[in-house]
Amino acid sequence: MFRKLRRSKQKLSDQEVLELLQSEKRGVLSIIGENGYPYGIPLDFYYNKNTNKIYFHGAKEGHKIDSIKINNKACFTFYNQGEQRDGDWSYYVKSVIAFGHINIVDGIDQLKELGLKYYPSQEEVEEEIKKAGPRVQMLEFTIEHITGKTVHEK
C-alpha cells in the first residue's frame, strides 16, 4: 500500500525516527483541502510513544476541521535542523514522513501533554488551558506508515 523508501542506504532506524518524534517541535500536516487541493498546515505537535499517535491542536472550526470531516487521510512531515560534518560545507538533515488518518478528539490530557512539551512549567500549562482550552480542538493522528531518512543537501 505504501511505497518503499527508494534510497534505502539513507533510511533512519526505527530508534532514530522515535527520537526525532520526541525531540522535534514542528512539522507540516498535509490533508486534502477544498476542491481536492492539497492543504499543508505548519503545526506544533506532541508524540505519545505509548499509543504511537501524534497530537495537534488548533481552532474548533475552519478549513482544517472542515477538510478532515470530509477526508481524514493525512500525511505529516518534519525534519531537524541538520548538522555539518567536518570538512563539509553542506548539511545532513534527518527527515520523517508519516501517513495515516487524523481524527477530531476531545482530549484534555493530550492538550496538557502538548503544553508540557512547549511551556516551561505545568502551572503555565494549566493557566493557558483555563484561558484558551474551551476554544481548542485536539486532533489525533494515527500512524499507519512512517519512514525517515538522512538527506545530504549539496
Given a contact cutoff of 8 angstroms between Cβ atoms, the answer to whether 30 and 77 are in contact is: yes
Q: In angstroms, what CA-CA distances link 101 with 53, 72, 88, 135, 145?
A: 10, 5, 39, 23, 10
* CA–centroid distance for 104 within its chain: 15
pLDDT, tens digit, 9 for 90 and up, residues 75-117: 999 999 988 888 888 888 999 999 999 999 987 888 888 888 8
Given a contact cutoff of 8 angstroms between Cβ atoms, the answer to whether 56 and 40 are in contact is: no
Domain 8-152 annotated CATH 1.10.8.100: no
φ/ψ of 18, rounded to 5, equals -60, -45
Sequence ranges of the domains in the chain:
8-152
| pLDDT, position 154 | 67
Given a contact cutoff of 8 angstroms between Cβ atoms, the answer to whether 136 and 110 are in contact is: no
Lookup: cell for 82: 541538520
CA–CA distance, 12 with 141 (Å, rounded to integer): 21
| pLDDT, position 88 | 83
Residue 5 DSSP one-character state? P
- Residue ranges in the chain modelled with pLDDT below 50: none
Amino acid at 154: K
| pLDDT, position 1 | 80
pTM comes to: 0.89
φ/ψ of 24, rounded to 5, equals -75, 155
* CA–centroid distance for 52 within its chain: 12
